[in-house]
Amino acid sequence: LVRAFREYCDLDGWALAFHQATPRFLELYAKNGLKALKIGEEGAVNLATFTLSGNAAKHLRATMNRFKREGYRAEVLDPPHQPAVLRRLKEVSDEWLARGRRRERTFTLGQFDEPALQVCPIMVARGPGERIVGFANIIPSYQSAEGTFDLLRYCEEPKAVADFLYVALTDYFRERGFTGMNLGLSPFSGLDVERPKSPAERAMSLLYRRGTFLFRYTGLREFKEKFQPAWEPRYLIYNSEIQLPGIALAVARAGELRRTPRIGLPHPQTDEREPSSAA
């Protein structure tokens, strides 16, 4: 399949790339003349061993105790969702975007999209008075034993809503028989961007220094480490270093598209699932 895809791209004069490839098929890519560039690491929480007990989790434990003491709770809302709920989620999302001077992205990053949210269970954090102060939409895992969520957005106050939601999500997935919870990619994690050796590594270092939107998350790993995840490398698979600038531009452009259906979710009109795709 990889060989056929490469031949198809060659016939049309296209640069081939696989984005966020796992280590499992690196040998297969190499046999087909392709190269691998590490772009970060993906974290997953082992739900069988994750616990709030012990010294390593004392800050998370204190956060959960404080939230419960102050009357906060987590709740999972099953679709379809009421218009009033979606309006409140939009308010929370807009505040989150404005606070960090962020804007909506797509491709590898989630965006607030009501039709997509209407087919997802949504975990919300409710404060005193039942006001929603944060949310995460839960997306299908299909054959994976890892639970997965897409957006996680929250109000500035109270502090540590993200921690509260993460812990609540581990409970939710564990109760449903999942063995892990996927935390997504931490770009540049595990890379030495200060001392690049190859041309490809120098390109990655340049992207890091210039702050390309895909890689403005250097604090993500530190945040995710609270949940004691295991880390696995993720790669960009490509044919030639000379194509890397064009591939990086293509990935950036894909992230700018506004109305692309979310990968893996039912299409709102057809109920057909969008296939996974390479960069």
Summarize pLDDT for 4-51 with one digit per residue, the tens. 999 998 898 888 999 999 999 999 999 999 999 888 899 999 999 999
| Six token digits for residue 54 | 């012990």
**Per-residue pLDDT at 134 exceeds 60:** yes
Collapsed DSSP state (helix, strand, coil) of residue 37: strand
**Per-residue pLDDT at 279 exceeds 50:** no
Q: Is the separation of the CB atoms in 97 and 125 below 8 Å?
A: no
Strands laid side by side in the 17-21 sheet:
17-21, 230-238, 35-46, 180-187, 146-154, 132-139, 122-126, 73-77
Q: Is the separation of the CB atoms in 42 and 185 below 8 Å?
A: yes
Decide the pairing of beta strands 35-46 and 230-238: antiparallel
Q: What was the pLDDT predicted at 49? A: 96
* Measured CA angle at 265 (ends 170, 253), to 5 deg: 105
Mean pLDDT of 207-228: 68
Residue 141 CB neighbours (<10 A): 17
| Six token digits for residue 7 | 């031949």
| Residue-wise pLDDT tens digits, 46-86 | 999 999 999 989 999 999 999 999 999 999 999 999 999 99
Instruction: Give a yes or no: residue 274 inside a domain.
Output: no
Collapsed DSSP state (helix, strand, coil) of residue 185: strand
Mean pLDDT of 125-140: 95
Q: What was the pLDDT predicted at 185? A: 86
Least Cα distance to 138 among 156, 124, 158 occurs for: 124
Mean pLDDT of 81-94: 97
Q: Is the separation of the CB atoms in 127 and 156 below 8 Å?
A: no
CA gap 135, 112 in Å, rounded: 11
Total domain count for the chain? 1
CA gap 66, 221 in Å, rounded: 24
Least confident window among 25-29, 110-114, 176-180, 257-261: 257-261
**Per-residue pLDDT at 137 exceeds 90:** yes
Question: Mean of the per-residue pLDDT values for the chain?
Answer: 83
CA gap 136, 120 in Å, rounded: 10
Instruction: Give a yes or no: residue 115 inside a domain.
Output: yes
Q: What was the pLDDT predicted at 1? A: 86
Instruction: Give a yes or no: residue 55 inside a domain.
Output: yes
Instruction: Give a yes or no: residue 122 inside a domain.
Output: yes
**Per-residue pLDDT at 215 exceeds 60:** no
Mean pLDDT of 138-156: 90
How far is C-alpha 254 from the geometric centre of its chain's CA atoms?
16
Instruction: Give a yes or no: residue 276 inside a domain.
Output: no
Instruction: Give a yes or no: residue 252 inside a domain.
Output: yes
Q: What was the pLDDT predicted at 188? A: 72
Can you name the residues that pair with 236 across neighbouring β-strands? 37
DSSP run (H or E) holding 238: strand 230-238
Q: What was the pLDDT predicted at 13? A: 87
Place of tokens 């993460």: 166
Most confident of 8-12, 90-94, 257-261, 267-271: 90-94
CA gap 201, 193 in Å, rounded: 7
Q: What was the pLDDT predicted at 247? A: 82
- pTM for this prediction: 0.80
Q: What was the pLDDT predicted at 266? A: 44
Least Cα distance to 169 among 153, 179, 181 occurs for: 181
CA gap 72, 185 in Å, rounded: 29
Instruction: Give a yes or no: residue 59 inside a domain.
Output: yes
Count the helices and strands in the chain (H runs, E runs). 9, 8
Domain around 226: 2-256
Instruction: Give a yes or no: residue 76 inside a domain.
Output: yes
**Per-residue pLDDT at 106 exceeds 50:** yes
- CATH classification at residue 37: 3.40.630.30
In this prediction, what percent of the chain has a pLDDT beyond 70? Answer: 77
Query: Which is higher by pLDDT, 183 or 194?
Result: 183
